[in-house]
A and B are shown apart, each in its own frame.
Chain A
Amino acid sequence: MTFAERRPVTLLICALGGEGGGVLAQWLVETATRSGYSAQSTSIPGVAQRTGSTTYYFEVFPVPLAELGGRKPVFSLYPVPGALDVLVSSELLETVRHIGNGMTCADRTLVVSSSSRTLTTAEKLQMADGRASSEELLKVVQQYSRSARIFDMSAVAQETGTVLSAVLFGAIAGSGALPFSREAFEQTIRQSGRGVEPSLRGFARAFEIVAGGHAAQTPASAAAPAPAGLPPDLASAFPVSTHAMLGAGHARMLEYQDRDYAGLYVQRMKRILAAERAGDPLGERGFSTTSETARYLALWMAFDDIVRVADLKCRASRFARVRREVKAQDGELLRIYDHFKPGLPEVAALLPRTWARVLIAWDRRRQRAGKTALALRLKVGVHTISGFLALRFLASLKWLRKRGNRFAQEQAMIERWLAAVEQGARSHWQLGHEIALCGRLVKGYGSTNDRGKDSLLHVLGHLAVGGQWDLPQARAEAIRAARTAALADDAGMELDKTLAKYGAAPLPVKAQPIMWVKKRRGTTA
């Protein structure tokens, strides 16, 4: 093959703004120049530092410049889809984005990608779980690459105390796709002047992972936490497949309140199991309605109130976790401030019904008069003795919780949900299961929590129990759709649309104080 028939080695780098892609492109060209090769890089740098997608493109002619007889290769400024030798990427979704744009092909492209994800805003802001499945993404990478080297580049950067660009540089060098020696790459880092040692460490680690084939084809998934054990007397009463969830739920009740409350939990779960057995006597569905109810019932029964939050906030394990999370070293002092804003409803929750009603009615009147709801902005230093004692005091009010207004309200709503699950499970397995899963709607604090419960009760009232339906499957389908819709947006727009589709009434509009905008009118038309 003559030189003229040889083609340049092509390399596309995908990174996020602020990851040092510009430095990386410069390093590649410097390495090529020092090694005596003709090379070119260019980039779409995006808006630097602002974590949008950026790409860098590099080409090198694989014959030393000295052997070209003064001829100069013409390089492309654009990566050519299907004509890439290497795709290097610091983020898994971005890797797949470029694969989806047709950049890689299975007979030519080596893909070197991080397994780590930097979640997009669209994935993060969902009310439930909007994250793209890494498993699916990895499958796409495998299928559309000649070979794939995947490892957690962010972790390597963090462990070696360097920046991503050094790790990417090592991964590129380790892939063996470029005609430069390892020393030439390392020399470039040395010449860059600052942060040389950590950069070299990150480079070396990435180099070895990629060159040594240590990069996993699929990264190891995090081990699931061991389920809490179920007391033996209870274990015998429930099918094995439900033990993990029931065990966790039972333990949560003990921790949250007391043995009696745990007993109530078990009693309720026995009702659900009986109902599911009636609808599915052979247990063909693995008793997953029971399991799922065990999950959401435990979360609902252990509803978050001042007492619970205060308890969680002053545990020794929490102090240790914060220290770990903020990476405080030995000898460094740690101060922890908690942001609370309890309102009257939170206080009323712990009061007996009559008192609570009076208090809440007063607060509503105030709001109707255009005043803001009463709430206390608190920034509590839990590292201080006074702050800690305040929280400990609140945490000790468990006894008050059971007598409080909210406790009674929650139990009543829980019973409505459970009754619906029971009734559904008996008539049709799918229906019971869908109603059980609606427990997911109940989460959050304050108005978020209220909204979730409103949605749940509305769905129960109009779809699970009320309404005319020919088939229980159709009912189950409607509930599934409504549940998904309720988690689509926090304004309830999707839910109302879905309810309308199934002929149910929309969620009642809640009264909200409005500010009138005064505006001077011109001459009337």
Chain B
Amino acid sequence: MASESQVAPEHQLEKSFKKEIELLSLGEGQTFHGEGILAITKALLQSGVAYVGGYQGAPVSHLIDVMVQAEEYLDTLGVHVEACSNEASAAAMLGASIHYPLRGAVTWKSIVGTNVAADALSNLSSPGVTGGALIVVGEDYGEGASVIQERTHAYALKSSMLMLDPRPDLPVMVRMVEEGFRLSETSNMPALMELRIRACHVRGSFVCKDNIAPPISTRHLMEEPAKFDYARLAHPPVTFRQEKLKVESRIPAARRYIAEHHLNELFSGRRDDVGFIVQGGLYNSLIRALQQFGLADAFGEAEIPILVLNVTFPLVPEEIAQFCLDKRAVLIVEEGTPEYIEQEILASLRRLDINTPIHGKDMLVAAGEYTVEVMAGGLEKFTDRYLPGSAAQDGKVWLRSNTARRQEIAQRLRAPLPARPPQFCVGCPERPVFAALKLSQRDVGPTHIAGDIGCHSFATFEPFSFGHSILGYGMSLASRAGVSPMMKRRVLSVMGDGGFWHNGLLTGVQSALFNGDDAVLVIFKNGYTSATGTQELISTPDEDDKVAAGDKQQSLVHRNLTIEKTLTGIGVQWMRTVHTYHVERMRRTFDEAFTSDFNGLKVIIAEGECQLERQRRIKPWIAGLLRAGKRVVRVKYGVDEDVCTGDHACIRLSGCPTLTLKDSADPLRVDPVATVIDGCVGCGLCGENAHAATLCPSFYRAEVIRNPKWHERLLDGLRGSVLRRLQAA
């Protein structure tokens, strides 16, 4: 590898938020250029937030990652940042705002994170907040989503929380954060702000304000706690009054504020006998759909008036009524199911005896993401009915031709194209475990496998296809409690260290031990919550160990024994730690766990540090060694193409992206042969698999030594001359 070619990928991999932190400290009048989620982060500081917490997960990981790294700067403002152990602990953190005039913000991935946080959220919403409380949720919905498709909106409704859904324009998003805090304080309701994936990643700009150091902060501590006030507990009998307060005073206060400060935006249009009501987040798509029909111009000037709901709960009935009154029809553009907003509008108009026809899910598709094209399909129905002839013909032609073209190509390709799901990274320490599991299943037969959330869920894809169920983060061991008593063979539960600390320790391990269950649990101890962007955990190897390690290439997770000590402490009696790249040993350990006489909980700790993190550490280290002219050994595996017969059994046991195929150079062979391409990090799995599964003898391990020592060079010269002579003979 040329030294230059190493520079660029290194630059890519390095996870540092230096530039982002600079953006956070911009002052009044300066322009921020960057992604939506970072703009939200900046807006928190502009709003004088005093504490921030959260649990990582796409698409909002960035918020908490940047905040954690910006600790030094935040300390100058007196802002406290907490990397919470799960969403419940993040939500509970907002409890500070019940009594104290502190602005707090937390973030997580929704719907899943909100589900985990639900208990705390209910208990927060009932007493209500004094200081503004903002929950920034990444609405992981539609293309690119990795979770079940449900709406966070339901939580706002049931717990009486505000729901903000800002128009995806950076100045509006920033304003809604600032208004969100004020609205929360005015109404005593915590506020949810939902940001869809594309809005989190949208790049734009806004003009900044100065950050506000909160009046009460880690630099300005409170002298005394609040006076005891039973009314602020989520405890009977005050909970009954709190429910009344929600309806009688909090929601009305919120409505007044929303209306007075024009949080919802009304865009007028020439044809004002019809109209659209749209969730703020969907505004841009609606405009583009209208543009396709010639009903809006490039600047969003539309023929038809649009009411943009930047706050989707509570709605302001007067605002809605005024908009709908005297219109022939209104279309509500609301993504996902159930259509809560549409139902609420229908109910409130009916009560006011306004009989404007309301359309929504009857014209737009009920389920799934509202892309521009999907939205255009609904708009066509609406305009055909209420504004016949107004939608440009080429818009209609466009819609038809899309459908026709797709069908044509599908027919032409005959079979659907092979999918490309995400997979284990090159050199991932989890891949060997599933290779070993595949081999073990040959010994003991197929087992029921309770899967979990995390990188290891990629084992559900080819070539492994492991996992019968995924019940939530850290839930694998708990989710087998009903299966294993009914099953002749033992059940395997798979869990990452992220899931273990998120809640697997309590819901799974504690419960299995308490009930004396016969269970097998494999914990992937890779040291980080890797799937969410390698955030650190309590069991992450210490920075000191990383600095002290002579060989930076080695896995360092064995230096932190928090998981092992915790398991021993809680009473686990059967525990085996296996380095994941030892496939044969891992296989035997699986076999043992599945057949052992021990009938309690058996835990296998599959130890191997996340390869992404290792590469971040290795690349600058190697570059430094090379710059200093020091000895470096680079390992790469390869396949001898004349020995490989093109059976691909090695691929079915690995799936590594760098183990792939190429045409055989042998004119006799028709099938492609295996090959290892550039990017191989020399993890050793190919060799381990070749041994453990008795694969073909075509794999070799090559060690390339740069800047060798003099005696190595001498030995190599001697060997070379002897070998060359023998080869010539």
Q: Is the CB of B203 within 8 A of A42?
A: yes
B248 within 8 A of A: no
* Cβ contact within 8 Å between A78 and B691: no
CB-defined interface of B137-180 with A at 8 Å, one 1/0 digit per residue? Answer: 00000011010000000000000000000001000000000000
Q: Which residues of A contact B422 (CB under 8 A)?
A: 17, 46-47, 50-52
A448–B8 contact, CB under 8 A? no
CB nearest neighbor in B for A128: B671
Decide yes or no whether B706 CB sits under 8 A from chain A: yes
**B684: nearest chain-A partner, CB-CB:** A339
CB distance from B726 to the nearest CB of A (A): 6
Most chain A CB inside 10 Å of its own CB: which residue of B702, B706, B708: B702
Query: Interface with A: B123-131, B252-260, B399-407, which one?
Result: B399-407
Interface residues of B in 279-338 (CB under 8 A from A): 283-285, 287-288, 291-292, 296-301
Asked if A286 is at the interface (CB within 8 A of a chain B CB), the reply is: no
Q: Is the CB of B298 within 8 A of A73?
A: yes
Q: Are A309 and B704 in contact (CB under 8 A)?
A: no
Q: Are A41 and B203 in touch, CB under 8 angstroms?
A: yes
Q: Is the CB of B595 within 8 A of A516?
A: yes
B417 at the interface (CB under 8 A from A): yes
Given A74-B284, A131-B672, A444-B647, is A93 in contact with B418 using a C-beta cutoff of 8 Å?
Answer: yes
The answer to whether residues A80 and B713 also contact, given A93-B417, A245-B668, A312-B643 and a CB cut-off of 8 A, is no
Which residues of B sit under 8 angstroms from A46, Cβ to Cβ? 144, 422
Most interface-central of A42, A46, A227, A517 (chain B CB within 10 A):
A42
- Tell which of A199, A338, A446 touches B694, judged by Cβ atoms closer than 8 Å: A446
Against A, the Cβ 8 Å flags (1 = close, 0 = not) of B680-704 are 0000001100110011110111111
What's the nearest-Cβ distance from chain A to residue B15, in Å? 10
- Which of A50, A73, A298 meets B668, CB within 8 Å? A298
**A316 contacts B727, CB within 8 Å?**
yes
Residues of A within 8 A of B651 (CB): 121, 124-125
| Chain B CB within 8 A of A503 CB | no
Contacts known (A125-B462, A295-B668); A158 close to B678, Cβ less than 8 A: yes
**Are A337 and B667 closer than 8 Å at their CB atoms?**
no
Q: Is the CB of B202 within 8 A of A42?
A: yes
Which residues of chain A are near B704, meaning CB under 8 Å?
Answer: 326-328, 332-335
Q: Contact: A333 with B2, CB < 8 Å?
A: no
User: Within 8 Å of chain B (Cβ to Cβ): is A429?
Assistant: no
Q: Is A194 on the interface with B (CB-CB < 8 A)?
A: yes
A161 at the binding interface (Cβ < 8 Å): yes
Residue of A nearest to B301 (CB): A4
Contact of B406 among A5, A101, A195 (CB under 8 A): A101
A466 to chain B, nearest CB (A): 27
- In the bound complex, residues from chain B placing their C-beta under 8 Å from that of A355 are none
Could you tell me the distance between the alpha carbons of A4 and B296 in the complex, rounded to whole angstroms?
Answer: 9
B201:A45 contact, CB within 8 angstroms = yes
User: With an 8 A cutoff between CB atoms, is A198 at the interface?
Assistant: yes
Q: With CB as the reference atom, state the residue of chain A lying closest to B415.
A: A132
A118 CA to B655 CA in the complex, in Å? 13
Query: Is B5 touching A161 in the complex (CB atoms < 8 A)?
Result: yes
What CA separation (Å) do A327 and B701 show in the bound complex? 13
A102-B405, A304-B643, A316-B727 known; A520-B599 Cβ under 8 A: yes
- The answer, among A72, A334, A443, for a CB contact under 8 Å with B671, is A443
Chain A contacts of B676 at CB under 8 A?
Answer: 325
Q: A129-B670, A163-B8, A334-B704 are in contact. Are A99 and B690 (CB under 8 A)?
A: no
**A4-B298, A520-B599 are contacts. A161–B4 as well, Cβ < 8 Å?**
yes
- Residues 454-472 of chain B, each 1 if its beta carbon lies under 8 Å from chain A, else 0: 0100100111000000000
Q: Is B719 an interface residue (CB 8 A)?
A: yes
B1 contacts chain A at the CB level, 8 A cutoff:
yes
Residue in contact with B7 in the complex, picked from A7, A198, A392, A520, CB distance below 8 Å = A198
Residues of chain A within 8 A (CB-CB) of B700 are 322, 336-339
Asked if residues A313 and B643 are in contact (CB atoms below 8 Å), the reply is yes
Task: Tell me if A3 and B298 are in contact (CB < 8 A).
Answer: yes
A52-B420, A78-B372, A341-B691 known; A99 vs B288 contact (CB < 8 Å): no
Q: Is A244 an interface residue (CB 8 A)?
A: yes
1/0 per residue A220-254: CB within 8 Å of B?
00101101100000000000000011001100100
Q: Is the CB of B1 within 8 A of A327?
A: yes
Given contacts A122-B419, A339-B687, contact A100 B652 (CB under 8 A): no
Chain A 116-155 interface 0/1 with B at a Cβ cutoff of 8 Å (1 = within) = 0011111111111101100010001000100000000000
Q: How large is the interface on B (under 10, 10 to 19, 20 to 34, 35 or more residues)?
A: 35 or more
A77 touches B (CB below 8 Å): yes
CB neighbours (8 Å) of B285 from chain A are 76-78
A100 near B410 with CB under 8 A, answer yes
Instruction: Please give, as numbers and ranges, the residues of chain A lying within 8 Å of B645 by CB-CB distance.
Output: 304, 443-445
B144 / chain A contacts, CB cutoff of 8 Å: 44-46
* A124 and B660 form a contact (CB under 8 A): yes
- The answer to whether B703 touches A517, judged by C-beta atoms less than 8 angstroms apart, is no
Q: Is B661 an interface residue (CB 8 A)?
A: yes
| Chain B residues near A514 (CB-CB < 8 A) | 445
Pair B531/A47 contact, Cβ less than 8 Å: yes
For residue A518, which residues in chain B have a CB less than 8 angstroms away from its CB?
Answer: 595-597
Closest B residue, CB atoms, query A325 = B638
Residue of B422, B705, B726 with most partner-chain A CB within 10 A: B422
- Residues of chain B within 8 A (CB-CB) of A282 are none
With A195-B7, A248-B668, A336-B700 already in contact, the answer to whether A71 and B299 are too (CB < 8 A) is yes
Query: How far does the Cβ of B688 sit from chain A's closest Cβ, in whole Å?
Result: 9
Interface membership of B9, Cβ < 8 A: yes
Query: Does B574 lie at the interface of the complex (its beta carbon under 8 Å from any beta carbon of A)?
Result: no
Known: A4-B297, A52-B420, A197-B4. A105 touches B401 (CB 8 A): yes
Given A131-B661, A131-B672, A336-B700, check contact A96 B719 (CB 8 Å).
no
Tell me whether B691 and A440 are in contact (CB under 8 A).
no
Interface string of B583-616 (1 = CB under 8 A from A): 0000000010011110100000000000010000
**Chain B contacts for A40, CB-based, 8 A:** 202-204
Once A73-B299, A333-B713 are accepted as A-B contacts, the answer to whether A80 and B2 lie under 8 Å apart by CB is no
Interface residues in B112-139 (C-beta closer than 8 Å to A)? none
CB pair B401 A82 closer than 8 Å:
yes
Tell which of A45, A100, A222, A446 has the most Cβ of chain B within 10 Å: A100
B230 at the interface (CB under 8 A from A): no
Residue among B490, B691, B713 with most chain A CB within 10 A: B691
A28 CA to B663 CA, complexed, in Å: 37
Q: Mark B638-664, 1 if CB is under 8 A from A, else 0.
A: 101111011111011001010111010
Q: Min CB distance, B7 to chain A, in Å?
A: 4
Which B residue's beta carbon lies closest to that of A342? B697
Which B residues are CB-close (under 8 A) to A73?
298-300
B413 within 8 A of partner (CB): yes
User: How far is B712's CA from A26's CA once the two chains are assembled, in angstroms?
Assistant: 47
A163 with B9: CB separation less than 8 A: yes
Which positions 22-43 of chain A face chain B at CB distance < 8 Å? 23, 25-26, 29-30, 33, 40-43
A115 within 8 Å of B (CB atoms): no
A-B contact pairs, 23 of them (CB 8 A): A4-B298, A44-B201, A47-B531, A51-B657, A61-B298, A73-B299, A77-B285, A80-B372, A81-B373, A93-B418, A121-B423, A124-B660, A124-B661, A125-B651, A318-B640, A325-B702, A326-B634, A326-B638, A335-B704, A383-B719, A445-B645, A490-B652, A516-B595
Closest 4 CB pairs of A and B: A52-B422, A44-B144, A195-B8, A4-B297
Contacts A25-B203, A101-B406, A337-B702 supplied; 10 other A-B pairs, CB < 8 Å: A5-B298, A42-B202, A77-B284, A119-B661, A124-B651, A312-B642, A341-B695, A383-B719, A445-B695, A515-B591
Interface set of A (CB-CB < 8 Å, partner B) = 3-8, 16-18, 20, 23, 25-26, 29-30, 33, 40-53, 61, 71-78, 80-83, 93-94, 96-97, 99-102, 105, 118-129, 131-132, 136, 140, 144, 158, 161-163, 166, 194-195, 197-199, 222, 224-225, 227-228, 244-245, 248-249, 252, 295, 298-299, 304, 309, 312-316, 318-319, 321-322, 325-329, 332-341, 343, 375, 377, 379, 383-385, 388-389, 392, 440, 443-448, 490, 514-520, 522
